[in-house]
Amino acid sequence: MKQALHAKLSLYVVATVWAGAMTAQAQVNSGGIYACTDANGRRITADRPIASCVDREQRVLGNTGVEVRRVGPTLTDQERSAQEAKRRQDQVEQQRLREERSRDRAMLARFPSQGVHDAARAEAIAQVNDVIGVAQKRQIDLQERRRKLNTELEFYQNDPKKAPANLRRQLDDNTESQAEQQRFIKQQEEEKQRINQRFDAELQQLRKLWAELPPAAPRSH
């Protein structure tokens, strides 16, 4: 008797599962019942998408009246274009944030403390100062050469027109070379300003990032 009861119970479970599956399949095949409240406040149901509710969300009900899904409002071409533009804008912003986080991680890895950052600044400035030092030495050499040329020019009453062509050419070359060195030194001084501005901006960002880091764990003794 117990075996017969168990068999009947098994058949009932199988039948229930099969019926539920068939009902769900029927709901999918039939497309369900569409329901919405239109702009005038009327509740409308239909077996297809409701034309008077294309501008709003519609509920799709199964045969039992249970909601199975929702259908969003139908968009105009202009609305779809605006939605697509918004989606692209969001993607660009997300990419920008990912790149910003990546740069922040790289900056923290390179400069774990202000001491490291200060040392990097000092090294960058020192390299430019070395270049300026070489240019200044070249400028001193040119000035010394100019004094010698001026001494030669004294033989011609300091009048370049009376001097030989070779001396005039050397005077012109010296003038041009000194001007070039002065321009170069000025460019390097401007480069030092750019370096300091870059390190100042980095330091401002790094201070925010350092403040967000979790406190270091105390060392065990």
Is residue 88 very low, low, confident or very high in pLDDT (cuts 50, 70, 90)? very high
Whether residue 218 contacts residue 126, with contact meaning beta carbons closer than 8 Å, is answered with no
Average pLDDT of 86-110? 95
Q: Which residues contact 181 (CB under 8 A, 6 or more apart)?
A: 135, 138, 139, 142
Higher pLDDT, 107 or 7: 107
Please tell me the predicted confidence (pLDDT) of residue 217: 63
Is residue 168 very low, low, confident or very high in pLDDT (cuts 50, 70, 90)? very high
Match 């030989």 to its residue by tokens: 164
Tens-digit pLDDT profile for residues 27-43: 444 568 999 998 899 99
Q: Is residue 24's pLDDT more than 80?
A: no
Lowest mean pLDDT among 8-17, 48-57, 102-111, 166-175: 8-17
Q: Which amino acid is at 71?
A: V
Average pLDDT of 111-122? 97
Please tell me the predicted confidence (pLDDT) of residue 218: 66
Higher pLDDT, 209 or 218: 209
pTM of structure: 0.59
Please count the other Cβ atoms lying within 10 Å of the Cβ belonging to residue 36: 22
Q: Is residue 109's pLDDT more than 70?
A: yes
Average pLDDT of 191-205? 97
Across the chain, mean pLDDT equals 85
Match 């979790």 to its residue by tokens: 214
Please tell me the predicted confidence (pLDDT) of residue 5: 42
Q: Which residues contact 60 (CB under 8 A, 6 or more apart)?
A: 31, 32, 33, 34, 35, 67, 68, 69, 70, 71
Distances from the Cα of 63 to the Cα of 7, 14, 114, 123, angstroms: 31, 21, 68, 77
Residue ranges covered by each domain of the chain: 29-74, 76-110, 113-211
Please tell me the predicted confidence (pLDDT) of residue 149: 94
